[in-house]
Structure 1
Amino acid sequence: MEVILWPLACYKDPQYFPNPKEFNPSRWDDNNAKEAFLPFGAGIRQCPGRDIARVEILIFLHHFVLNYKLEQINPEFPISYLPVPVPKDNCLAKLIKVSSGIAA
């Protein structure tokens, strides 16, 4: 017998993620869903590049947050939830440069 984990189903479990269909980045602040969040897999098949991926993401986000802001074009966009949550208008936004400083 084979067991296949569907991470999307885990992420919609209200025990770990209250209001799973709601966009709420602060849900990660208390980190109470550690055992239910598997972005890099688990066990012997865990992604070998997970540490470098995390560092690259942190560097990108650091420069992005300091130098740009996003302005949503359609704040009342509808969302399609199957097979994965996707904004029906692709979440159109304007990217606005707010800083002219040189990034290190």
Structure 2
Amino acid sequence: MRKLFKNKEKKHLKIHIYEWDIDVYVPENEEQRYIKAAENVSQKIEAYMDIYVRQQYVPQKSYMEILLMTLLDIAVTSTEKERVLGFNKFWRRINNIIKNK
């Protein structure tokens, strides 16, 4: 299995996401990052379950819909962070140009 990772040390980790235990191989020293991410995903799934499955008067959603909504939520948040970071990099470059003149 290690050959697949091209000489990068990977560590086996069992993480819990919502109701599932998942075996993953993560880079050395990145375990906490993956555990935090799993907790974040679990919290988002739990929130959508509270809204769309456990409420009596709301149209019920399937597991697949809940998972897709969670995935979309995470993707939108991720792309927004990338946009903000890119915008900040742009302004840092402009400030560096102005300072160096």
Shorter-chain TM-score: which interval? under 0.3
Structure index of larger Rg: 2
Greater share of helix residues, 1 or 2?
A: 2
Higher relative contact order (CA 8 A, sep 6+): 1
